[in-house]
Amino acid sequence: MTFLLTLLAAIFVLGPLIALHEWGHYIVARLCGVKVLTYSIGFGPKIAGWTSKKSGIDYRISALPLGGYVKMLDEREGEVAADEQHLAFNRQHPLKKIAIVAAGPIMNFVIAIGLFWVLFMTPSEQLATKIGQVLPDTPAATAQLPVGDKIVAIDGHEVQTWEGINYRLAGRMGETDNISVTLQAGDNAAKTYYAPVDEFMQGDDHGKDALSSFGMLPWQPTIAPIVGELTPDGAANRQGLKVGDRITAINDVAIADWISATRIIRDNPETLLNFTVLREGKPVQLAIMPQGKKDNLGNDFGQIGAMVAQSEIVIPEDYKTTVVYGPGESLVKSFEKTEQLAVMTVSSMGKMLSGMIGLDNLSGPITIAKVAKQSFDISWQMVLSTAALISLSLAVLNLLPIPVLDGGHIVYHLIELIRGKPLSEGVQMAGLNIGLLLLAGFMVLAIGNDISRLF
């Protein structure tokens, strides 16, 4: 059942993005006077569709849902009647060819901007960007960032939400440098701190989120570390923890709240931990090994099967804020966010190729499907956000200057524009073969990463 729901979520999110990407190619081709033969969602054998009696275009859904294509009349792919040669793609001016090829990725950018625009216009109550906790032995602790101050900028870029802070920090992944954090306390003047990072989010911090790696967290409720429930097959139950036990220390680290205990447990999968608990007023020593689990991105985390008793959480007023923008400001914000994430995506690809960050950060269709399913479990806003991020990734990926991708074809047509004639068929085919090998290699690596995250 879970597999079916994951598949349906992936189809619901990816299907429209692929269809609209191909529609960009399709509509611009028709506007440029090129005859379209086939509009397909998916590759391989046709499983459904119809042929337009008016235009003769074959609209179809194909068996392999890993993309799509628009097939146009082209003399390089078959004989074209003399009276239709002016409708062939290969006969068009290079600028028309570039417009047709670029229309797909541009459509994905437009979708991302539109979805971000809707999300920015949706009022939301969020945690204020005040520092709620600074973790020890982290860059934030080294910089002595004061708890309670409001974060107003990261590396000189204004931030208004914790999501924005997370993206700015994640953009520094793999780097060794200083990250600047500008804080404001009340009505006082803003002050900038510099936190040194060394191969940020790599090494021991690999798999952690950007905020935890940096050591700067939002406000979190203080929940007493008292066990309220145990799962029968969990490590905690098997190794002696009981309902009502109060955790006072883990590996000699004093525990004052439940979240602190959870963080240590999550960071130590398959590692024997020494718990000190208070049971009926007396200290009890327990050795518990968290079971190793994997999240949707394949990151390992520990779990012992212990839950806290449910209690009402009240967020202090000074740690709450309502974020709302008007239509105009939302549009500006959506363009800015799209630009920021596109730059971060390209930068991350460059860091992977240079070895600054690991190739295991590359994700494939399985991870995308799991993230899509998870977004449906959270909220409609998360579904739109996930769709926007995937659409943006599709746009950036397709614009890479690799033959076989849209970006590679654009390079070919730019050369044709400059030379006054296209490259020879032999050169183009050699480039396409190289591009296919590169793309196949990336797909194998991405799917391999996906599979490794499952086990």
Q: What is the DSSP string of 22-41?
A: HHHHHHHHHHTTPPEEEEEE
Please state, in angstroms and as integers, the Cα–Cα distance from residue 93 to each residue in 88, 276, 348, 420, following that order: 11, 76, 35, 10
Which one-letter DSSP state was computed for residue 422? P
pLDDT given at position 67: 86
Q: What are phi and psi of 239, to 5 degrees?
A: -110, 20
Are 72 and 37 contacting, i.e. CB atoms less than 8 angstroms apart? yes
Question: What 3-state class would DSSP assign to 405?
Answer: coil
Q: 317 pLDDT band (50/70/90 cuts)?
A: confident
Outline where DSSP puts E strands in 124-211.
Answer: 124-127, 133-134, 150-154, 157-158, 177-184, 191-197
Question: Mean pLDDT, to the nearest integer, of 406-432?
Answer: 92
User: Nearest-CA neighbor of 119 among 422, 431, 296, 383?
Assistant: 383
Pairing of strands 306-308, 58-72: unpaired
276 backbone dihedrals φ, ψ, rounded to 5°: -115, 120
Q: What's the alpha-carbon Rg for the chain, to the nearest Å?
A: 27
Whole-angstrom Cα distance, residue 315 to residue 220?
8
pTM comes to 0.82
pLDDT digits (tens, 9 = 90+) for 88-106: 999 999 999 999 999 999 9
Q: What is the pLDDT of residues 242-256, one digit of tens each?
A: 999 999 999 999 998
Q: Give strand pairing partners of 70.
A: 39
CA-closest candidate to residue 241, choices 214, 273, 269, 267:
273
Considering the chain, what percentage of its residues have pLDDT values greater than 90?
65
Which H or E element spans position 166?
helix 162-170
Catalytic residues: 22
pLDDT of residue 444: 85
Torsion of CA 125, 129, 131, 132, to 10 degrees: 0
- pLDDT higher than threshold 90 for residue 9: no
241 contacts 229 by C-beta, under 8 angstroms = no
Picking from 230, 242, 235, 245, the residue whose alpha carbon sits closest to that of residue 290 is: 235
